[in-house]
Amino acid sequence: MNQLNATPDQTKNTACFSCENLARLTEIMDEHKYSAGSYLFWEGDAADKLYYLKKGRVKITKSSDEGRQIMLYMHQEGDMFGQVDPFHPSTHSFHAQALEDVTVGVIRHNDLEVLLWQYGDLAVEFMKWMGLMHRMTQSKFRDLILFGKPGALCSLLIRLGNSYGDVRENGIFISRKFTNAELGEMIGATRESVNRMLGDLKQNHAIEYVNGHIVIKNLTYLCDICRCENCPKDICRI
């Protein structure tokens, strides 16, 4: 866990792109705005675009027909997301909901393809970006399946630390607040389970609450529970 206190730049999932190529991408974007709570796309919508998040946060969720819902990603400023696959027409398999008022740049697949055709280095960077996204998914997969809910929760806390953590003398201060229900949604557990597990962690002085914010006191303790592999911070995030 040497990846804490990352600068904002380092935690963008577009870190793979050079300024030059980011500019090229920016050129083919259309700007759109969505208000907090609205959906950028729904499961089943045509997936022919990518989204570059300029402002705000977006969560990508999958919902089982009745009620239960699991959050797959929570994207923040500077992230790019969307679906790329070889089917025409292809459809989204997730929902994307704005958590705050959001400004996105929309990139159409067709425009992107032209750009990839033209600029080999962009294609290579793009491929690396996709690889990164894939590894994020795989790493989450591992955490959620292999070490039970407590493992998933600890891994989540570490990820939150990497994404929103502020290293202070008394621990890693997580600069956003989350309700137990939100945490549960992120790891496929119930509010109550999360509550009990957090209680355990508090008792073991692994974390504490400072006016509503989680502070990680003992990172090693968390790492042990989820068998943290010290993966790069670009992967181990929300």
Partner DNA sequence: CCGGCACTGTGACTTTTGTCACACGACCGA
Partner DNA sequence: TCGGTCGTGTGACAAAAGTCACAGTGCCGG
* Contact status: 148 vs DNA (CB under 7 A): yes
Name the DSSP class of 46. B
Regarding 195 and contact with DNA (CB under 7 A), the answer is: yes
Q: How far is the CB of 192 from DNA (least distance, A)?
A: 4
83 binds its own copies (CB under 8 A): yes
Between CA 28 and CA 99 the distance in angstroms is 25
Specify the DSSP class assigned to residue 29. Answer: P
Whole-angstrom CA distances from 54 to 11, 71, 88 are 14, 21, 28
Tokens linked to 80: 């790019």
The span from the first CA to the last CA of the chain, in angstroms, equals 16
Residue 93 interacting entry, from DNA, its own copies, none, C-beta within 5 to 8 Å by type = its own copies
Q: Say whether 180 sits in a helix, a strand or coil.
A: helix
Q: From the list its own copies, DNA, none, which binds 140 (C-beta under 5 to 8 Å, kind-based)?
A: its own copies
Return residues touching DNA (CB under 7 A): 148-150, 179-181, 188-193, 195-196, 198-199, 209
Return residues touching its own copies (CB under 8 A): 15-16, 62, 64-65, 68, 70, 72, 83-87, 93-94, 113, 116-118, 120-121, 123-135, 137-142, 144-147, 188, 227, 229, 231-232, 234-235
